[in-house]
């Protein structure tokens, strides 16, 4: 691969040469689990990762795994998978370390993913699932080269997924709402003229009130 002033020139294994304006490399990732396999740890037959339970324990006592190499059941997706993201690696490490100390770790935070693409910061909270309906959080017209917006994914009246482009601050404010019923607040959540902080407080107060009334009843 040879970088050019405009684009890149690529020579393939068969000798063909291509000159392209943009090259997207999508090569995937294979976990190096040779050591784990030699130690007799259970590996997932599909994704090749080291199988761990919710506390980060492998199939062998006293051996833990975390991060890209680990395969774990993800309740949000309803499937076992390797979650290749910075936050997941950190959360799995926290939970494994707590578990090693014989303590009960708090569950992993809602999955969060970020990336920077073509000058845009893209962040996601939660995950997309079948049947999810997306609504646009409108924003005042801005710079086309640096748009700012959010998409909110709802399932069964609850917020389950949010995608933010150049709106990471707004996304962070939504975190406490994940899993809470927000249907009746959706129109306001999607109105970018309204500050999120106030709406988030209202939803939380209502959820706390519901819990208190359940406790007293």
Q: Which residues bind ligand FAD (CB under 6 A)?
A: 32, 67-68, 84-87, 89, 113-115
Q: Which two tokens stand for residue 147?
A: 């748009």
The Cα 208–Cα 126 span in angstroms is 22
Closest approach, Cβ 80 to ligand FAD, in A, equals 17
Residue nearest to ligand FAD (CB): 67
Q: What is the largest CA-CA distance in the chain?
A: 75
Shortest reach from residue 21's CB to ligand FAD, in Å: 21
Q: Which among 51, 49, 14 has a CA at the least distance from the CA of 31?
A: 49
Tokens of 208: 């706390």
The smaller minimum CB distance to ligand FAD, of residues 19 and 115, is found at 115
Least Cβ distance, residue 35 to ligand FAD (angstroms): 6
Cβ proximity to ligand FAD: between 120 and 208 the closer is: 120
Residue nearer to ligand FAD on the CB measure, 113 or 149: 113
Name the residue nearer to ligand FAD (CB basis): 68 or 80: 68
Task: Count other C-beta atoms under 10 Å from residue 199's C-beta.
Answer: 19
């Amino acid at each position: 691969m040879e970088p050019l002033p405009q684009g890149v020139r690529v020579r393939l294994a068969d000798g063909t040469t291509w000159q392209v304006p943009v090259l997207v490399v999508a090569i995937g990732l294979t976990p190096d689990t040779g050591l784990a396999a030699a130690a007799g740890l259970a590996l997932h037959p599909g994704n090749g990762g080291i199988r761990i339970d919710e506390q980060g324990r492998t199939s062998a006592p006293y051996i833990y795994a975390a991060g890209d190499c680990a395969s774990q059941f993800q309740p949000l997706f309803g499937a076992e998978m390797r979650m290749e993201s910075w936050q997941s690696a950190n959360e799995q490490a926290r939970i494994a370390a707590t578990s090693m100390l014989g303590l009960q770790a708090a569950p992993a935070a809602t999955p969060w993913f970020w990336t920077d693409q073509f000058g845009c910061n893209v962040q996601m909270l939660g995950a997309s699932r079948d049947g999810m309906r997306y609504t646009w959080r409108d924003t005042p017209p801005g710079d086309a080269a640096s748009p700012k917006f959010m998409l909110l994914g709802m399932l069964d009246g609850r917020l389950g997924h949010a995608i933010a482009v150049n709106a990471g601050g707004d996304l962070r404010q939504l975190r406490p709402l994940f899993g809470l019923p927000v249907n009746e607040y959706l129109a306001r959540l999607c109105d970018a003229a309204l500050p999120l902080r106030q709406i988030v407080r209202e939803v939380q107060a209502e959820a706390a009130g519901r819990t208190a009334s359940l406790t007293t009843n």
